[in-house]
Structure 1
Amino acid sequence: MRRRTMLVGAGVIALAAAISGYRHRLPGFDPVIPAAPTGDERVEQRRSIMRGKTVDFYTAVPAGYGDGKGLPVCLVLHGGTARPADFPRLGFGRFLTDAVRRGAPPFVLAGADGDRLAWHPAGGDDPQRMVHEEIPLWCVQRGFDVSRRALWGWSMGGYGALSLAEAFPAWASAVAAFSPAVQPGDDVFGAAGQLRGSPVGLWCGRQDPLFGNVTALQKVLPEPIAAGSYTDGRHNMDYWSRQIPAAFDFVGRRLGRL
């Protein structure tokens, strides 16, 4: 099983690398950022035992909610290019405030650097366990309510969010995946039944090279998707930024129900 996981992870890394190259050959992949203000937004360094190194740890609280104590958490799994240090520039804190101002129940964002390992273990480096076991502890230290948690990721991180939700059924109250780097026959397809009872949102651009894979995944999910759309767009931040408002509305509603 571990060898199969390593082989699948290597396949996803290769796929993500190919998609990343495709992304950078396209014009117009700057994010579309709302004018809303940021709240308490930080990039700190934390020592990860699971990864065996110090990693960047990003958090964002919507403006008007102080340091975010008592708020539920959406865990962020990045793709093959952007890292937590890039999240402020990509406007994630502004998107969060905008979602809350539009009526979404408030929540915080939290994510750490998982490198390019497709959120699977490689030797002694285990970014998936970092997300499952360490980031919640770091969030508790900040006073966030980790009993209410959701997952959001794009590209390689969308694959990682789905894989994590399958590995720990019902651990997350929602999974939002943008253009997840999945392919038929990988572990996400093989364990799709584990997502029963976990609301899933899927978004993918129709011009994305992963579009066929994502729609094929939707067909094997045990339940209809709870949110998402397939509209014109490619595999880039321009497309993903236009989907963030809908995804944050979805995540906020799910976290606000608990």
Structure 2
Amino acid sequence: MRRRTLLAASVVAASAAAGAWAYESTRPVVVPLAVPSVPPGPERCELRYSKARGTTVDFYTAVPAGHGDGSGLPVCLVLHGGSKRPADFEGLGLGRFLTDAVNRGAAPFVLAGATGDRLAWQPDGRDDPQRMLHEELPVWCAARGYDTGRLAAWGWSMGGYGSLLLAEAFPRFVRVVAAFSPAVAPGDAVFRDADRLAGTPVGLWCGRSDPLFGNVRALRRELPDEPMAGTFGPGKHNFDYWSTAIPAAFAFIAARLSGVTPSPA
């Protein structure tokens, strides 16, 4: 059955600290969308036919500047929300965020994403975006020389839900999950199978003014292990908020993909 998400979303910019779970002030704050002013590395977006989905999808990859074609680098799968597609990622500045993270000391990795449409990253009849993530996207990435033995998953809104769902459906498939304002609800598949996240490092971010905040907070209580990164800080369900979490999320992902445990914030 098709699962409709409560809100649509997407991503772009700014600053935060990686590490242990933290709570922040609820004081209102206005955060501008600001893409780091650094050059991106190679970014590509091309069309691929997905057998799992039975349609042609965007296939996006980004390599941090200074790391050639990305050969040998681990991969972070990017699961979009309801309002963006991989063809939008370059314009959102994801490649610049990636280079900025590496410039700040994060171990390099590659971003890779494909179109999941509005299916909440789960099967809908013969259309199965989750199978595309699990079976096809790693093959496409391996063909470019990336290290698909080291995978992470990161998503926002509907994509945050999908990232957690992917890690539950295939334990140990990804080494780490970062979810921004995941579109979860008590009783849904992510809640029901939360125990399957045991042993998988999870980063969980959500703004306190987000309509989903109560659900995300409830999910945090259901997780088998305390989140290893993330904040419940000032913000809504939009890029102005998510932009503040990208640096922390990328540092968290990089550390786990490289086998380094980040220090507490």
Pair in the same fold by TM > 0.5: yes
Task: Give the match for residue 16 of structure 2.
Answer: none
1:1-258 paired onto structure 2 within 5 Å: 6=1, 9-10=2-3, 13=4, 15-16=5-6, 19-20=7-8, 31-257=33-259
What SS does structure 2 have at the residue aligned with 1:171? coil
CA contact (8 A) 2:161 2:179 kept: yes
Q: Which residue is 2:24 aligned to?
A: none
Q: Any gaps of 5 or more consecutive residues in structure 1?
A: 1-5, 22-27
Asked if the contact 1:208–1:235 (Cα under 8 Å) also holds between the matched residues in 2, the reply is yes
Offset at residue 31 of structure 1 (A): 3.4
Shift in Å at residue 124 of structure 1? Answer: 1.1
The AA in structure 2 aligned to 1:95 is F
Letter in 2 for 1:68: G
1:64-86 Cα deviation digits (max 9, x unpaired): 00100000000000000011011
Tell me, what secondary structure is at the counterpart of 1:152? strand
CA distance in 2, matches of 1:30, 1:47: 37
The 1-side partners of 2:33 and 2:166 are apart by: 26
4+ runs deviating over 4 angstroms? none
Closer, same or farther in 2 for the Cα pair 1:55/1:104, shift >3 Å?
Answer: same
The CA distance in 2 between the partners of 1:102 and 1:30, in whole Å, is 21
Distance 1:76 1:31 in 2: 19
Aligned-CA RMSD value: 1.4
Kindly tell me the number of residue pairs found equivalent between the two proteins.
Answer: 240
Shift of 1:42: 0.7
| Distance in 1 between residues matched to 2:104 and 2:8, nearest whole Å | 32
Cα distance in structure 1, aligned partners of 2:31 and 2:70: 31
Displacement of 1:32 = 2.2
Give the alignment's TM-score, normalised by structure 1: 0.90
Name structure 2 gaps, 5 residues minimum.
Answer: 10-29, 261-265
Paired with 1:212 and 1:114, the residues of 2 have a C-alpha distance of 26
User: Does the CA-based 8 Å contact 1:77-1:160 persist in structure 2?
Assistant: yes
Aligned to 1:3: none
Structure 1 counterpart SS, 2:98 = helix
TM-score relative to the length of structure 2: 0.88
Residue by residue, what CA displacement relative to the aligned partner does 1:228-257 show, whole Å, maximum 9, x if unpaired?
A: 001111001111111100000000000011
Distance 1:87 1:31 in 2: 14
- Separation in 1, partners of 2:207, 2:34: 16
In the alignment, is the contact (CA less than 8 A) between 1:74 and 1:149 conserved in 2? yes
Q: Is the 8 A contact 1:104 1:249 kept in 2?
A: yes
SS at match of 1:89: helix
Shift of residue 56 of structure 1? 0.5
Distance of 1:29 and 1:57 partners within structure 2: 30
Change (3 A) 1:130 1:30: farther
SS in 1 for 2:255: helix
- Report the 3-state secondary structure (helix = DSSP H, G, I; strand = E; otherwise coil) of the residue aligned with 1:244: helix
* 3-state secondary structure, aligned to 2:230: strand
What letter is aligned with 1:20? A
Percentage of matched positions with identical amino acids? 64
- Per-residue CA deviation, residues 144-176 of structure 1 (Å, 9 max, x unaligned), is 000000000000000000001000011110000
Residue 29 of structure 1 and its aligned partner are, at CA, apart by 9.1
